[in-house]
Amino acid sequence: DVKVTQSSRYLVKRTGEKVFLECVQDMDHENMFWYRQDPGLGLRLIYFSYDVKMKEKGDIPEGYSVSREKKERFSLILESASTNQTSMYLCASSLVGNTDTQYFGPGTRLTVL
Amino acid sequence: RKEVEQDPGPFNVPEGATVAFNCTYSNSASQSFFWYRQDCRKEPKLLMSVYSSGNEDGRFTAQLNRASQYISLLIRDSKLSDSATYLCVVSYSSASKIIFGSGTRLSIRP
């Protein structure tokens, strides 16, 4: 079974803090994704990566950056957290050529005070 | 207008009933379609892909209507364990265009 893990289930940070969310997958998937999920808005793609050191912006990249130094790990960085970044963050991975079947991690509920 | 729209529900139906819901999409260039299921406080998981000819997986049937730009999910003989939020997903050839609907909440009552 594919396993996608995220570093924290719950996180509370203060406005202005730098926040790192880590995601690791164990199935040698090429593609990795970061989403946020908010009530009524569904999942929105922040960034994705199709290879090590490669990244592309999704629909809402503002205020976020990402890092993919190793194939299995994809990090989401909030350079200066703001209250409007309070959300559920979901990481996903998928195979090359099968980008649409995504396997999700359990999510990180981030609260920015 | 959202690119992918779903009725948020909730749909509240008795156990054993048949329930169906639709998802409409606005971009005719959409290429792939899926239904994901998300349980409360859990991550989404793929339920089934949606093929042009329609497809069935046990009690679940998915259909695609390209002319009217919608996909549907039919659940027969519903079980209590079917209670969840069902997410419609539409994607294009580029991985950057994967659009999730905001989900339809289904609640099955005994």
Position A25 confidence tier, pLDDT thresholds 50, 70, 90: very high
Enumerate the residues of chain B whose CB falls inside 8 A of the CB of residue A102: 44, 46, 98
What stretches in chain B show pLDDT beneath 70? 93-96
What lies within 8 Å, CB to CB, of B58 at 6+ separation is none
Residue A46: per-residue pLDDT: 95
Query: Does residue B109 belong to the interface with chain A, where contact is any CB pair within 8 Å?
Result: no
A106 contacts B42? CB cut-off 8 A: yes
The number of residues in chain B equals 110
Torsion, Cα of B40, B57, B88, A67 (10° steps): 70
A101 contacts B49? CB cut-off 8 A: yes
Q: What is the pLDDT of residues A36-46, one digit of tens each?
A: 999 888 899 99
CA–CA min distance B62, chain A (Å): 16
What is the rounded average pLDDT for all residues in chain A? 92
Q: What is the pLDDT of residues A56-110, one digit of tens each?
A: 999 899 999 999 999 999 999 999 999 999 999 999 998 875 556 889 999 999 9
Tokens, residue A107: 């999510």
Query: Using CA atoms, how far apart are residues A20 and A15, in angstroms rounded to an integer?
Result: 14
